[in-house]
Amino acid sequence: MRTGVVAVAVASCATLLSACGSAPAPAAAPGAGPLSSPTSHAPGTAATDLASCTIYLYGHAARAEISGGGSSNPAGECRSLAASLSQGGDFWTTQTVSVKGALPVVCATQKNGLVVVVRDSNAQIFGQSVCSELLQDGWVEDSLVERSAQQLDQQAAQASAQATARAADQSTAKKALAGLQSSNRAFTNAKSVRGDLTTALKDLAQLRKDAKGGNGDDCYNVEAVVGYDAEAVVGYDVTSTASYDVDQEQQSIKDLRSNITDLKDAQAALTADGLPTLPGASAAITTAEAYITTAIATTNKAIDDLNATMKTAYSIANTLGTGSCANSGPGEAPEGLSHIS
């Protein structure tokens, strides 16, 4: 059996007709004559009283949609053409063979009121063979029908591509909306940074309590207790723990803005497609934008308080020592945290 995919579609000049249901055709009879029709119409013109049916190449995706003016026996015409095409060794039948996607046009021919549009895929070897057989049997190539079929194919392909693009845009918009709504639900208004401030204030309170011990023996309280509290406790709270959480908060805001942009772009694509925007999208965007404003204000207020807390801790440690313990504090406070935007 030869390999390949062939489709022969017979149509009027204006459109390709859909296949009619028919019983399976018998095996090809040797010497079967070519298909004819009782009524003729000029090449490139449409017949309004067309009957149609479909035959298929057994074992392949081949098909022939047959249309002829005035015929009262379309099933008989299909069997006749199947027998004629089967003389070359292939077996054509009225048993339906499904084809995925459209097959491009190879040629269109006409004879005695019938129009045949030949289709094939890949190298079009089988389609060219069928076209040659038809032309040798007296069929005439009809370029107008061929162009019409090609235009219909292009229209169908464009419609399919448009439908696919719209479906993709809808899917993208739904994912973008779900992502933004999820981010909104996860909003904490800089909870970690606010927690860092609480910790720093608690540690500052302990430093104040430790400072009541004055110099201590050999300046131990100034250097190893209060100085340590300022530098390694309160200072660490701000320059390490809070610094990390502030960076995370800035990244969260960046991600939220990206989610907003994604959803706006997806909404614009839906509008360009002529589709309605998603319910809840505008509300999600408004909520996210308000959250960003709130988070920035909350974080920056906490940053100011954290910086002030660290400076206070260093100031207490640096001014605690007296006499021989003077100037035994941790020194100048580190640079504080910067605002986010």
Co-location of 179 and 307 in the same domain: yes
Higher-confidence residue: 198 or 133?
A: 198
Task: Say which amino acid occupies 11.
Answer: A
What is the share, in percent, of the chain residues with pLDDT greater than 70?
A: 82
Task: Please check the confidence at residue 318 and state whether its pLDDT lies above 80.
Answer: yes
Residues in the chain: 341
For residue 140, what are the β-bridge partners?
Answer: 110
pLDDT of residue 217: 94
pLDDT of residue 74: 65
Co-location of 82 and 230 in the same domain: no
Co-location of 175 and 317 in the same domain: yes
Dist CA 319 CA 35 (whole Å) = 112
Domain total of the chain? 2
pLDDT of residue 21: 36
Co-location of 119 and 46 in the same domain: yes
pLDDT of residue 41: 43
Task: Please check the confidence at residue 334 and state whether its pLDDT lies above 60.
Answer: yes
Read off the pLDDT of each residue in 126-140 and give the average, rounded to a whole number.
Answer: 85
Co-location of 102 and 241 in the same domain: no
- 241-255 pLDDT per residue, tens: 999 999 999 999 999
Q: Among 290, 118, 292, 321, which Cα is nearest to 226's?
A: 321
Per the listing, tokens 């035994």 go with 328
Q: Among 138, 1, 122, which Cα is nearest to 57's?
A: 1
Co-location of 169 and 314 in the same domain: yes
Q: Which of 5-14, 52-61, 156-165 is least confident?
A: 5-14
Co-location of 173 and 312 in the same domain: yes
pLDDT of residue 46: 41
Residue 200 lies in a domain: yes
- 24-46 pLDDT per residue, tens: 433 333 333 444 333 344 444 44
Read off the pLDDT of each residue in 105-134 and give the average, rounded to a whole number.
Answer: 81
Q: Which of 13-27, 167-181, 208-222, 320-334 is least confident?
A: 13-27
- 264-310 pLDDT per residue, tens: 999 999 999 999 999 999 999 999 999 999 999 999 999 999 999 99
Q: What is the residue range of 271's domain?
A: 165-325
Co-location of 198 and 268 in the same domain: yes
Co-location of 174 and 301 in the same domain: yes
Joined tokens for residue 306: 């954290």
pLDDT of residue 69: 54
Residue 333 lies in a domain: no
Residue 146 lies in a domain: no
Q: Among 62, 63, 56, 65, which Cα is nearest to 15's?
A: 65
Task: Please check the confidence at residue 63 and state whether its pLDDT lies above 90.
Answer: no
**First-last CA distance in the chain:** 71
Dist CA 149 CA 160 (whole Å) = 16
